[in-house]
């Protein structure tokens, strides 16, 4: 599914306009009360808000340029990240107010994040890449616990975990399966990767990307034919492309015949 990045960028822009308008209204009300000290204090406060909004606005402008040029134009990453992370909650709320589904907004955020990570041209060694997968990819009737040790998987092919193992073996990267955010953060702390390919739903991917701001994360949305958190699937080809993006070369030929390569 092709996620449109412009949805999230548009919501960020609207968020800046909303905050700017709010700042102007507050400034007007407070500077017409006739109390000099209050006027001075609140003028300074509004001035700081304006500076913040200018920085955020420039961050969004650079973000648009980065997405438009696909990395052809060098843009300041820190300013773009500040804009994205600062305005994301507001963008999410504003989107909901106008009837846009929150998962659609999150998916757009993930698409923007992936494009920015790709534009950075992060290239690392295979052992520095971690595939971080959710436990809901595991076949629900499987008796083997793989969240503590992923090697407990018997590679039966009944769920995508087998394919993720094959990817890890083929490219020499690490694989971990987590039950939630706490365990995922523990794996990141223990493995100390330089880059992460994360598989999850929109909500978990969004929170995870924001949790590890200093690490480049490529997010791959899971597929939920039986509903959330139960026998979910993943497009293995998308995971492979993300791995190869970090490794700096194209995917290997005939690694997988299609994107959902497992047996039910």
Tell me the CATH number at 196: 3.40.50
Asked whether residue 78 carries a pLDDT value surpassing 80, the answer given is: no
pLDDT at residue 263 in the model: 39
- Residue 55: give the domain boundaries: 6-119
Same domain, 242 and 136: yes
Inside any domain, residue 78:
yes
* Helix (H) or strand (E) run with residue 128 in it: none
- Confirm whether 65 is domain-assigned: yes
In terms of pLDDT, which residue wins out, 161 or 14? 161
Residues 202-247: pLDDT tens digits?
Answer: 999 999 998 887 799 999 999 999 999 999 999 999 999 999 999 9
Q: Residue 56: inside a domain, yes or no?
A: yes
Contact indicator for 12, 61 with CB cutoff of 8 Å? no
The stretch 24-29 carries a mean pLDDT of 71
Q: What per-residue confidence (pLDDT) applies to 264?
A: 37
- Give pLDDT, residue 1: 41
Across 81-205, the runs of DSSP E, i.e. the strands, are: 129-134, 174-178, 195-200
Supply 110's token pair.
């993930």
16 and 46 belong to one structural domain: yes
96 and 13 belong to one structural domain? yes
59 is written with which tokens? 């961050």
Q: Is pLDDT at 261 greater than 60 in this prediction?
A: no
* Mean pLDDT, the chain, integer: 84
Give yes or no for residue 16 having a pLDDT over 50: yes
Is there a single domain that holds both residue 111 and residue 187? no
Answer yes or no: do 112 and 192 share one domain.
no
**CA of residue 35 relative to chain centroid, distance:** 47
d(CA 119, CA 122): 8
The 10s digit of each residue's pLDDT in 144-202 is 999 989 999 999 999 999 999 999 999 999 999 999 888 999 999 999 999 999 999 99
Q: Tell me: do 129 and 84 sit in the same domain.
A: no
- pLDDT classification of 84: cutoffs 50, 70, 90: confident
Q: How many distinct structural domains can be found in the chain?
A: 2
In this structure, what token pair is assigned to residue 198?
């994360």
Check whether residue 12 and residue 93 sit in a common domain: yes
Query: In this model, does residue 37 exceed pLDDT 60?
Result: no
Distance CA 116, CA 109 (A): 11
How would residue 121 be classed by pLDDT, with cut points 50, 70 and 90? Answer: confident
User: Of 103, 119, 135, which residue is a domain's last?
Assistant: 119
In a domain, residue 104? The reply is yes
How high is the pLDDT of residue 41? 65
Same-domain check for residues 78 and 55? yes
pTM score of the predicted model: 0.79
* 124-141 pLDDT, tens digit each: 999 999 999 999 999 999
- For the chain, state the CA radius of gyration: 22
The verdict on residue 236 lying in a domain is: yes
Give first-to-last CA distance, the chain, whole Å: 22
Compute the average pLDDT of residues 105-116: 91
Residue where a domain stops, chosen among 119, 134, 167:
119
Q: Please tell me whether residues 130 and 232 are part of one structural domain.
A: yes
* E-assigned strand segments in the chain: 129-134, 174-178, 195-200, 217-221
Same-domain pairing of 48 and 65: yes
């Amino acid at each position: 599914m092709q996620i449109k990045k412009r949805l999230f960028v548009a919501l960020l822009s609207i968020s800046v306009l909303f905050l700017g308008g709010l700042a102007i209204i507050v400034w007007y009300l407070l500077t017409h009360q006739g109390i000099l000290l209050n006027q001075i204090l609140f003028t300074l406060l509004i001035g700081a808000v304006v500076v913040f909004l200018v920085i955020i606005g420039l961050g969004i402008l650079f973000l648009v340029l980065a997405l438009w040029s696909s990395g052809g134009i060098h843009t300041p990453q820190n300013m773009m990240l500040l804009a994205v992370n600062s305005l994301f909650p507001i963008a999410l709320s504003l989107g909901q107010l106008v009837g846009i589904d929150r998962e659609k907004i999150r998916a757009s955020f993930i698409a923007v994040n992936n494009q920015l990570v790709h534009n950075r041209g992060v290239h690392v060694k295979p052992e520095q890449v971690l595939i971080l997968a959710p436990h809901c990819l595991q076949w629900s009737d499987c008796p083997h616990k793989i969240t503590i040790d992923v090697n407990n998987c018997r590679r039966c092919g009944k769920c995508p975990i087998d394919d993720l193992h094959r990817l890890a073996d083929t490219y020499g990267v690490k694989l971990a399966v987590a039950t939630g955010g706490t365990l995922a953060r523990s794996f990141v702390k223990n493995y100390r990767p330089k880059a992460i390919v994360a598989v999850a739903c929109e909500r978990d991917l969004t929170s995870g990307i924001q949790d590890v701001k200093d690490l480049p994360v490529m997010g791959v949305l899971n597929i939920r034919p039986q509903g959330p958190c139960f026998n979910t699937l993943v497009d293995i080809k998308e995971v492979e492309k993300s791995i190869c993006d970090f490794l700096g070369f194209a995917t290997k030929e005939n690694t997988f015949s299609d994107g959902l390569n497992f047996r039910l």
